[in-house]
Structure 1
Amino acid sequence: PCSRGMRTQPQPPAVATLKRAVELDSASRFQESLVCYQEGIDLLLRVLKATKDETKKAHYRHKISDYMERAEAIKKYIEKEREDGKYHQQIKIEENATGFSYEKVFQDYLNETVTEVWVEDPYIRHVHQFYNFLRFCEMLVKGPCKVKTIHLLTSYDEGSGKSQQTNSLEEIKQSLKNYGVTLNVSFSSSIHDREIRFNNGWMIKIGRGLDYFKKPQGRFCLGYCDFDLRPCHETTVDVFHTKHTKKT
């Protein structure tokens, strides 16, 4: 999360989180920095509440005011970029990095207005890729979005896994139906781009698609169930906001 990478020496959580917020802000990674500012401000408010010394309280209030002002400015900037259809943020996931479950990557872009999702990924063919897609669907069903329709565009497995691909996707489709969600699956022999679109205007492109996690070392290793603990392959996540997502 926000304190990732702050391992040089122990620091109070509020200090570490706000320091990370400033670093992300300076690197123009505004969406991430906003989340860290909000977390850091909340932690600092708790410190303020527990402080008795009036001088320290005044210092904390001043700091909180400064951070809130910057967070509000970033929020307005992001909103303006969204309105203009110009928003673009890039997140680089490093080799063996952890903390990048689907919830962490997508949570900032999912809200109650999301009812329809488009997934374009040419490689939903093997068992672990079906599980990746299933986990992604589970995240959508859990909310806070109100997803009713998921569109999957992938490539057809022409090899020995042909029937496995058909059966696995059909099973996911029937399971989603129990939750009131329709899964539409279509195939393309020419698909090569990987992107995910939500009908609230957010578009996320991941270099490796949903398949950016490394194979766990064993079935009883940390990270086998919790993807936040699963090491990742190096990849890049590009986030855009458009006024209208294409519905194809």
Structure 2
Amino acid sequence: MAQDLLPGVESSAVSVLKRAVQLDNCSRFQEALVCYQEGIQLLLDVLKAVKDEAKKMHYREKIKGYMERAEQIKEHTTKLKEEGKYHEQIKIADSSTGYSYESLFKPYITDGLTEVWVEDPYVRHVHQLYNFLRFCEMLLKCPSTVKTIHLLTSQDEDSSTQQSSALAEMKQSLLSKDICLDIQYSSTIHDREIRFNNGWIIKIGRGLDYFKKPKGRFSVGYCDYDLRECHETTVDIFHTKHTKKT
């Protein structure tokens, strides 16, 4: 690593590990674990580039401490998963930012993920359809091998709406990426739930529709959803060995 890049990598490591500790203190263990792992890797990169022996010793101690905590979290979460007791809760405050689909779902997406179920009664209006599309795009970008996405939603009875044509277009587009979109409708669906076949279950009070309308088409947050303000909602995360198939 070039020495002129070192301060930037150090700064990134500090930022990521600070976030890891914050998440850890809030009992958001899976997210904390991801941040610990990313931060440790950055510190390892710094360690390779540092020449000063005193600094090397400092970073070795830091890395050791963070690795020990990451291992403790891993053992704790594994035990909870085995016992079927894993539960995390994230409270999204009104007008808060930093909750794009990538930020929210990334800790639960692993290489073994191949199938996703989305149950959300409100994938009907234009902005809701775009939300679902962004969710699908997020799955495409993450390091997973998703092959099937199931959507269960309610059908818009107004024949003039875009729902059926938009979902048909999404289905065709995803097929070009070797992903099958299975669309089912229910007139009685009420609950909102997203299930991954790696065992994770994410329940969001408002479903995928937790973002506020941007103030304008050229306002910050219009494109980057990490900068988009959110409605107040609660996210509950569970884990089960056997993801229910419907």
Task: Calculate the TM-score normalised by the size of structure 2.
Answer: 0.87
Q: 1:171 to 1:19 in 2, by over 3 A?
A: closer
Q: Deviations over 1:193-226 (max 9, x none)?
A: 1010111111111111011111111222222222
Counterpart of 2:34 in structure 1 is 35
Identity %: 69
Contact conserved, 1:126 with 1:161, CA < 8 A, in 2?
A: no
Offset of residue 117 of structure 1: 1.0
What stretches of structure 1 of length at least 5 have no aligned partner? 1-10
Contact conserved, 2:106 with 2:142, CA < 8 A, in 1?
A: no
Contact conserved, 1:154 with 1:186, CA < 8 A, in 2?
A: yes
Contact conserved, 2:30 with 2:108, CA < 8 A, in 1?
A: no
Offset of residue 242 of structure 1: 0.5
Which deviates more from structure 2 when the two are superposed, residues 15-24 or residues 165-174? 15-24
Contact conserved, 2:122 with 2:153, CA < 8 A, in 1?
A: yes
Counterpart of 1:187 in structure 2 is 185
Offset of residue 49 of structure 1: 4.1
Are residue 166 (structure 1) and residue 164 (structure 2) matched? yes
Are residue 85 (structure 1) and residue 84 (structure 2) matched? yes
Contact conserved, 2:99 with 2:226, CA < 8 A, in 1?
A: yes
User: Residue 186 of structure 1 aligns to a residue in which SS?
Assistant: strand
Q: 1:125 to 1:26 in 2, by over 3 A?
A: same
Q: Deviations over 1:166-209 (max 9, x none)?
A: 22211211222222222221111221110101111111111110
Contact conserved, 2:118 with 2:150, CA < 8 A, in 1?
A: yes
Contact conserved, 2:117 with 2:194, CA < 8 A, in 1?
A: yes
Q: Provide the C-alpha distance between the structure 2 equivalents of 1:14 and 1:176, rounded to a whole number of angstroms.
A: 36
Root mean square deviation of aligned Cα: 2.1
Which deviates more from structure 2 when the two are superposed, residues 75-84 or residues 113-122? 75-84
Offset of residue 24 of structure 1: 2.5
User: Residue 227 of structure 1 aligns to a residue in which SS?
Assistant: coil
Offset of residue 233 of structure 1: 1.2
What stretches of structure 2 of length at least 5 have no aligned partner? 1-9
Counterpart of 1:69 in structure 2 is 68
Contact conserved, 1:113 with 1:146, CA < 8 A, in 2?
A: yes
Q: Deviations over 1:29-52 (max 9, x none)?
A: 211222232233234334444544
Alignment size in residue pairs = 237
Offset of residue 163 of structure 1: 4.3
Are residue 217 (structure 1) and residue 211 (structure 2) matched? no
Contact conserved, 1:34 with 1:75, CA < 8 A, in 2?
A: yes
The amino acid across from 1:115 in the alignment is T
Task: Calculate the TM-score normalised by the size of structure 1.
Answer: 0.86
The amino acid across from 1:58 in the alignment is M
Q: Provide the C-alpha distance between the structure 2 equivalents of 1:151 and 1:77, rounded to a whole number of angstroms.
A: 31
Counterpart of 2:22 in structure 1 is 23
Counterpart of 1:109 in structure 2 is 108
The amino acid across from 1:132 in the alignment is N
Offset of residue 125 of structure 1: 1.0
Contact conserved, 1:176 with 1:183, CA < 8 A, in 2?
A: yes
The amino acid across from 1:188 in the alignment is S
The amino acid across from 1:54 in the alignment is E
Q: 1:166 to 1:201 in 2, by over 3 A?
A: same
